[in-house]
């Protein structure tokens, strides 16, 4: 070209394969979650004692070869109740936030993108929902529709929608005015295309990280509801209801409340850890100097 220009090809540096040392804790968390999920899924075909079989002669029994983790206050096998209970806690724990993720996430995305009156409507209704006492809502549903896993899932899912809407809307707001979105508009992309191709892939990750935290929270909340007697109906087990039932035996056999509590604690922790780590490593920006 002119005097000083050499025709050098544009160099592109080789991408660095980031050897992220995902610590021991992360892998333990993954292992635990997988263990719990697999056990819960295959519970019906595993060689376990029947979780609802009461053995009144062996109430609050200590660990034995017949009952590996002993029995509870009504003589039911603790280990199998824990495993079947895991199924309940995880089902509700995963499905309820899913409702929040899809509905809340979509509402937030649309609100943050279209703004204006639609946004005001969405945000306003979410505020109303948030202001409504959640426990009263749960009580009302349970009173009218009865206690069941689907109802419980519905309650918790519905109550989680505003939080997901907030996260999704916040992420969308930061992104919607960025140049790459305007660039897509300048290229003639339709709204649907912009929402699905440009915004959603960027909003999805913070939403998913929030989802995993939501799973953790839901398991605990389900536990609380079951503890209060609003959750799964007996004789079905869930970790929360087991803690509730174990309350009566705290002096004599604290392990009855302790074992499900530990199971819940470790599982929730595992979800939190995985959520945090995933969020950290999938951030595409490498720190600029």
Partner 1 sequence: MSGVLLSIRDVAVDLPTPRGNLRAVDHVDLSLEAGRTLGIVGESGCGKTMLSRAILQLLPKKAKLAGRVMFDGQDLAQLAPEGLRRLRARDLAVVFQDPMTSLNPVLTIGTQLMETIQEHLELDASAAKKRSIELLTAVGIPAPEQRLAQYPHQCSGGMRQRIAIAIALSCEPKLLIADEPTTALDVTIQAQILDLLAREQRRRHMAMIIITHDLGVVAGRADEVAVMYAGRVVERAPTQALFKHMHMPYTEALLAAIPKLDAAPHTPLPAISGRPPDPTRPLKGCSFAPRCRYATNRCHEAKPELKSAEMPDHLYACFHPIQMAEGIGA
Partner 2 sequence: MQLAVREEPLLSVDNLVVEYGLGNKTVHAVSGVSLHVARGETLGLVGESGCGKSTLGRAVLQLRRATSGRVLFDGEDLTAMEGDALRKMRRRVQLIFQDPIASLNPRRRIGDIVAEPLIIAGVKDAAERKRRVHDVLSAVGLDPDLVSGRLPHEFSGGQCQRICIARSLVLNPEFIVCDEPVSALDVSIRAQILNLLEEMKARFGLTLLFIAHDLAVVKAVSDRVAVMYLGRLCEVGPSEQLFANPAHPYTGLLLQAIPVPDPDVRPAESVATGEPPSPIAPPSGCRFRTRCPRADQRCSAEMPELREVAPAQFVACHHPLA
Shortest distance (Å) from residue 121 CB to partner 2: 20
Q: Which is nearer to partner 1, 8 or 57 (CB)?
A: 8
* Member of 198, 209, 211, 245 binding partner 2 (CB under 8 A): 198
Residue 84 corresponds to which tokens in the numbers above? 């079947």
Should residue 13 be labelled a site residue for partner 1 when binding is judged by CB under 8 A? yes
* DSSP-derived secondary structure for 143-194: HHH-S-HHHHHHHHHHHHHHHHHHHHHHHHHHHHTSHHHHHHHHTT--HHHI
Q: In terms of CB distance, is 5 or 251 closer to partner 2? A: 5
H helix intervals, the chain: 24-42, 78-99, 105-114, 116-131, 134-145, 149-176, 179-186, 191-193, 200-227, 239-246, 255-281
With CB under 5 to 8 Å by kind, the binding choice for 6 among partner 1, partner 2, none is: partner 1
Query: Quick one: which segment of 107-115, 125-133, 173-181, 281-289 binds partner 1 (CB under 8 A)?
Result: 281-289
> Torsion angle of alpha carbons 120, 125, 127, 128, nearest 10°?
140
C-alpha distances in Å from residue 137, one per residue of 141, 158, 287 = 6, 10, 45
- Asked whether position 251 contacts partner 2 by CB under 8 A, the answer is no
Residue 286 engages partner 1 in binding (rule: CB under 8 A): yes
Residue from 178, 247, 252, 265 binding partner 2 (CB under 8 A):
178
* Residue closer to partner 1, measured from CB, 22 or 262: 22
- Annotate each residue in 9-38 with x if it binds partner 2 (CB under 8 A) or - if it does not, as one string: xx-xx-x-----------------------
Q: Judge residue 269's burial from the number of C-beta atoms within 10 Å of its C-beta, 0-12 exposed, 13-18 middle, 19 or more buried.
A: middle
| Cα angle for residues 249, 254, 258 (degrees, 5° grid) | 120
Nearer to partner 1, 14 or 65 (CB): 14
Per-residue x/- track, 134-173, partner 2 (CB under 8 A): ----------------------------------------
CA angle at 193 for the pair 192 and 196, rounded to the nearest 5°: 85
Binding site for partner 1 (CB under 8 A): 1-8, 10-11, 13, 16, 18, 286-287, 289
Binding site for partner 2 (CB under 8 A): 1, 5, 9-10, 12-13, 15, 178-180, 182-190, 193, 197-198, 201-202, 284-286
């Amino acid at each position: 070209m002119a005097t000083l220009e050499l025709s050098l090809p544009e160099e592109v540096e080789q991408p660095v394969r980031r050897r992220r040392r995902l610590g021991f804790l992360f892998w333990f968390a993954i292992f635990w979650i997988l263990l719990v999920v697999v056990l819960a899924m295959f519970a019906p075909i595993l060689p376990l004692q029947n979780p609802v079989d009461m053995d009144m002669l062996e109430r609050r029994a200590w660990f034995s070869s017949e009952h590996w983790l002993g029995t509870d206050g009504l003589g039911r096998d603790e280990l199998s109740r824990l495993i079947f209970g895991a199924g309940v806690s995880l089902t509700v724990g995963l499905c309820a936030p899913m409702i929040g993720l899809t509905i809340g996430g979509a509402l937030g995305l649309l609100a943050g993108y279209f703004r204006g009156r639609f946004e005001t409507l969405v945000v306003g209704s979410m505020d109303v929902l948030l202001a409504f006492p959640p426990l009263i809502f749960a009580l009302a549903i349970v009173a009218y529709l009865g206690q069941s896993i689907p109802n419980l899932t519905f309650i918790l899912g519905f109550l989680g929608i505003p939080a997901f809407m907030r996260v999704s809307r916040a992420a969308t707001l930061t992104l919607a005015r960025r140049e790459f979105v305007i660039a897509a508009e300048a290229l003639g992309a339709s709204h649907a295309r912009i929402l699905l191709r440009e915004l959603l892939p960027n909003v999805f990750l913070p939403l998913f990280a929030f989802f995993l935290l939501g799973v953790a929270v839901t398991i605990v909340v389900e536990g609380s509801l079951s503890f209060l007697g609003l959750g799964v109906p007996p004789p079905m087990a869930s970790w929360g209801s087991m803690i509730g039932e174990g309350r009566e035996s705290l002096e004599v056999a604290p392990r009855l409340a302790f074992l499900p509590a530990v199971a819940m604690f470790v599982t929730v922790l595992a979800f939190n850890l995985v959520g945090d780590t995933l969020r950290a490593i999938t951030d595409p920006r490498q720190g600029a100097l």
